[in-house]
Structure 1
Amino acid sequence: MAIGPRLDLRLGQALVMTPQLRQAIKLLQFSNLEVAAFLEAELERNPLLERDEGGPEPAPVEREAEAPAPALDDAGDTLAAPGEAPLDADFSNVYDPGGSADGAETTPLDGARIGAGGRSDFEADDRGIEDHAVERRSLRAHMAEQLRLSPGDATDRLIGSCLIAMLEPTGRLAGDLEALAANLGCPLERVEAVRQRMMRFDPPGVFARDLRECLAVQLEEKNRLDPAMAALLDNLDLLARRDLRRLREVCGVDADDLAEMIAELRRLDPKPGAAFEAEAATVVVPDVLMRRAPDGGWTVELNPETLPRVLANATFHARIAASARTKEERSFIAEHWANATWLVRSLQQRAATILKVAAEIVRQQDAFFRHGVSHLRPLILRDIANAVQMHESTVSRVTANKYIATPRGTLELKFFFTTAIAGTGGESHSAEAVRHRIRDLIAAEDPDNVLSDDQIVLLLRREGVDIARRTVAKYREGMRIPSSVQRRREKALLV
């Protein structure tokens, strides 16, 4: 047999990850904010793309009405009032004599005359509520203002400024005071004296070195730091272990006095600076909207406020393509036109895929929406992928960073995917539903008969949930619920 180079022709199929395919996969996983930022960059880069300035079109809707439910009232329906124009009327052709189109001024409810220039006395405030947000002042700025108003010379103000720079977001003081005194060239006693004075600033307890000192300052401000309370502050480790018997011996008080002292500590703020550094809560805008249908089913639709709206400008493309002269110009136009049309199709496919997956999740979790979290069924990505005939990775990307507004609140799509826990009767249970049941059992337990993990296991098995004690302990610790011993000590304080 001769050995040498030769050419062979073979046919085969392979998946090629083109840049356009990577872009479509990336868009599928993006949240609505990330998609908006991506489109802004594309609008700047591609001259053939333009923003759709038209009014919001009705979002695609999928109905799920297989499981009947009691009919709802019509309080949320909006019907056309008698005498209104039909929905297909062209309101641009409707003429209102004597209206604003004739130059007349309109009078709002508050009596303000608003014309082309607004009210002449500038008393009307047309700003929205979002324009009235109060600017939050930082902790350091709040402390610096009090330092400027406090008595002391320039050296004390310099020491105070350095202490303010060493503040943590919680209000605790980080850093070495001895090193600070050495750097400033002043005695450590003077630095400590300034710190002691600044601990009385508002809120009291800031600039403390530890929890005991922070609570002690707040108790001094309330004139509640007696010897018994000081002994309690010196033994906070015993309080953390709920060792009430030892605390009564150390403080020299009875059970009632100790319960009152602990209640006094709970009313204090262990992190007095946290309120200044707290960030404003981020409002989650849902990608999918869900509501009840009049026939008892569910209606699922995309949120039109989050739908990306871009168009490929065919008119502009035809005009510049006809005027192209060189090969580079024609190549530039063809490449950007292909990218624009592909992006528009990718966004349409993204919207259809999200709607399809969300509708299937609603269908499979129908019992949860009707009866609550105790009826949340076990669900994995494969279940949805098989139902909608997609790959599991596609379903995973669709459900990432996407939210749905439901009658039970705005939830992430990942929330509906939970592991299964075997049941004694053969039926599996959702791990989230089991955690919810454990929380309910502990919340309803008798103070004189606190449930141990073993007792919770027995109660769950009577309800058909086959669960191990270590699993109950793991779920309980994940929900930050203390053990039965600690709960018994806590409930003894409340008696």
Structure 2
Amino acid sequence: MALSARLELRQGQGLVITPQLQQAIKLLQLSNLELEAYVDTELERNPLLQREEGEPEPEAAAGPSSAAETSTDQVSDSAAAAEMDAGADEVSPGERATGDGEAADVGGGVDWSRAGRGGGFDGDADGLEGTLTRAKTLAEHLTDQMVVAGLAGPEAAVAQVLIDAVDEGGYLRADLAETAERLGCPQAFLEGVLSVLQGFEPTGVFARDVRECLTLQLKEKNRFDPAMAALLDNLDILARRDHAALRKLCGVDDEDLKEMVAELRALTPRPGAAFGGEPVQSVAPDVFIREGQGGLWLVELNSDTLPKLLVDQRYHARIAAGARTDQEKTFVADCLASANWLMKSLDQRAKTILKVASEIVRQQDAFLAYGVTHLRPLNLKTVADAIGMHESTVSRVTSSKYVSTPRGVFEMKFFFTSAIASSSGGEAHSAESVRHKIRQLIEAERREEEVHSDDRIVEILKEAGVDIARRTVAKYREALRIPSSVERRRMLKETA
């Protein structure tokens, strides 16, 4: 068959994503910190943009009196748009919708307590004394000891490099051979400095693994002998609680082994944890949810995370009048179009977040009222269909967005869980609520006879109306970092 080149005309349809649309999609999936950085970049690039200065007017402040009550059946775009400026939207307890598709990954910090009914609205500001003092960091503590130890010259330089390589737990996270090559010194010299540093307080710092950390602490207590060394060499067997094998390896009887294990438990596997570190970056929720009157849930945007920008029309008029060349006029027109589109994109982003959060509250109102056992199965498609958006849009909105509720601060993806069928043919159960039930069953075990195997947990859950397989129970148990029934019986036997 001969090959030849020819010209053809074809007509077809395609979706063209403009740069402006790409920007709007990008803004949806940015977290509030990433959005702040993006806005800062736009402020530097576009002379027509400026931050809005001054406090908001009292009329624009969000509050229960300014929130609008919406019905369970619908959330209109006009209502979301109106409440975006007011910052609030009340949601009534909605009908439950179940999902049978794949759920998004569960994430977010979880606090099961019902404390703080305000959901983070009335947070206490740090006192003045909190800004004047701070705890000494581990690196500073070690540096002070380096000065007292009299290290100077090359030894002090090597010591400082090793101090910088210590993590928050007190472990040395540096390869000595690589560090020696990088510093241009013999490895033996580096090891000599390390031996001095390993004598610093807290005992156990500069260890390269758990065994070395515990060894340093035992040597300091003069309790490091061949039997203890054999025990440290077999920490994996100790984790399995195979005492018979440990007695044989260590050459001790049962009483001595119990004393050795008790000594290990009295040690500190993370000696550096007692010192202050860098301040932890707190999560700023994008949405606040709190209980209103009559069992309604108040949903409002966190205005502190929303960029406050203005388009300087006066400055635009002045520079547009002074533009002479076509290049200058094009630049001014592009800056105005970019600024207006950014303002529109930010407004649409806020409306979309509010709509998605409101629908999540409608679907998961039972969780907010009664706890995790009432968390309902939910997937992206259910929310997308309810608010008239595409699943990918909902996925972008829920990415790196956090919600403050009376039960704690959660990532939006936390509310999306897979469905587990009911054994009685009734309503499906949320995977998160089933995991919570498994945890409760295991935490209630007090004696060896009360330990439930995975098969027994399956039977108990089926009696409660949850149709679940044994392998699923085992998977959830391992995800919760709960040992098997054999290990739990062994633990209860030791503590008896």
TM-score by length of 1: 0.77
Q: Which moved more, 1:471-480 or 1:275-284?
A: 275-284
Unmatched runs of 5 consecutive residues or more in structure 2: 1-5, 62-85, 96-116, 119-125
Which residue does 1:401 correspond to in 2?
400
Structure 2 distance, partners of 1:177, 1:334, is: 59
| Residues 96-495 of structure 1 mapped to structure 2, 5 A cutoff | 128=128, 131-134=131-134, 136-139=136-139, 141-150=140-149, 170-172=170-172, 174-175=174-175, 195-208=194-207, 210-225=209-224, 229-248=228-247, 258-273=257-272, 279-426=278-425, 427-449=427-449, 450-495=451-496
Q: Which moved more, 1:472-481 or 1:251-260?
A: 251-260
Which residue does 2:102 correspond to in 1?
none
2:468 aligned counterpart, secondary structure? coil
| Residues 67-82 of structure 1 mapped to structure 2, 5 A cutoff | none
Letter in 2 for 1:63: E
Q: CA deviation at 1:291?
A: 0.8
Q: Which moved more, 1:441-450 or 1:251-260?
A: 251-260
Letter in 2 for 1:436: H
Which residue does 2:24 correspond to in 1?
24
Structure 2 distance, partners of 1:300, 1:354, is: 11
Structure 1 residues 389-438: Cα deviation after superposition (integer angstroms, max 9, x where no partner): 11111111111111111000111111000111122122211111111111
Q: Which moved more, 1:205-214 or 1:264-273?
A: 205-214
1:203 aligned counterpart, secondary structure? coil
2:483 aligned counterpart, secondary structure? coil
Letter in 2 for 1:220: K
Q: Which moved more, 1:470-479 or 1:49-58?
A: 49-58
Query: CA, structure 1 residues 302+166, in 2 after alignment: closer, same or farther (shift >3 Å)?
Result: closer
Letter in 1 for 2:325: T
Q: CA deviation at 1:21?
A: 0.8
Letter in 1 for 2:391: E
Which residue does 1:90 correspond to in 2?
none
Query: CA, structure 1 residues 129+53, in 2 after alignment: closer, same or farther (shift >3 Å)?
Result: farther
Q: 2:138, 2:272 within 8 Å by CA — same for their partners in 1?
A: no
Structure 2 distance, partners of 1:180, 1:19, is: 50
Structure 2 distance, partners of 1:305, 1:330, is: 36
Structure 2 distance, partners of 1:274, 1:209, is: 16
Letter in 2 for 1:29: Q
Structure 1 distance, partners of 2:17, 2:489, is: 60
Letter in 2 for 1:44: E
Q: 1:50, 1:313 within 8 Å by CA — same for their partners in 2?
A: yes
Structure 2 distance, partners of 1:42, 1:179, is: 42
Q: CA deviation at 1:20?
A: 0.9
Q: 1:166, 1:175 within 8 Å by CA — same for their partners in 2?
A: no
Letter in 2 for 1:31: S
Q: CA deviation at 1:484?
A: 1.6
Structure 1 distance, partners of 2:342, 2:209, is: 56
Structure 1 distance, partners of 2:250, 2:408, is: 48
Query: CA, structure 1 residues 353+207, in 2 after alignment: closer, same or farther (shift >3 Å)?
Result: closer
Query: CA, structure 1 residues 27+133, in 2 after alignment: closer, same or farther (shift >3 Å)?
Result: farther
Q: 1:288, 1:358 within 8 Å by CA — same for their partners in 2?
A: yes
Query: CA, structure 1 residues 329+23, in 2 after alignment: closer, same or farther (shift >3 Å)?
Result: same
Query: CA, structure 1 residues 16+178, in 2 after alignment: closer, same or farther (shift >3 Å)?
Result: closer
Q: CA deviation at 1:318?
A: 2.6
Structure 1 residues 175-225: Cα deviation after superposition (integer angstroms, max 9, x where no partner): 458996997569x5x876765454331011224454333213213333544
Query: CA, structure 1 residues 224+347, in 2 after alignment: closer, same or farther (shift >3 Å)?
Result: same
Unmatched runs of 5 consecutive residues or more in structure 1: 69-74, 77-125
Query: CA, structure 1 residues 201+53, in 2 after alignment: closer, same or farther (shift >3 Å)?
Result: same
Q: Which moved more, 1:469-478 or 1:217-226?
A: 217-226
Q: Which moved more, 1:42-51 or 1:57-66?
A: 57-66
Q: 2:454, 2:470 within 8 Å by CA — same for their partners in 1?
A: yes
TM-score by length of 2: 0.77
2:303 aligned counterpart, secondary structure? coil
Q: 1:259, 1:493 within 8 Å by CA — same for their partners in 2?
A: no
What RMSD, in angstroms, separates the aligned Cα atoms of the two structures? 3.5
Which residue does 2:92 correspond to in 1?
65
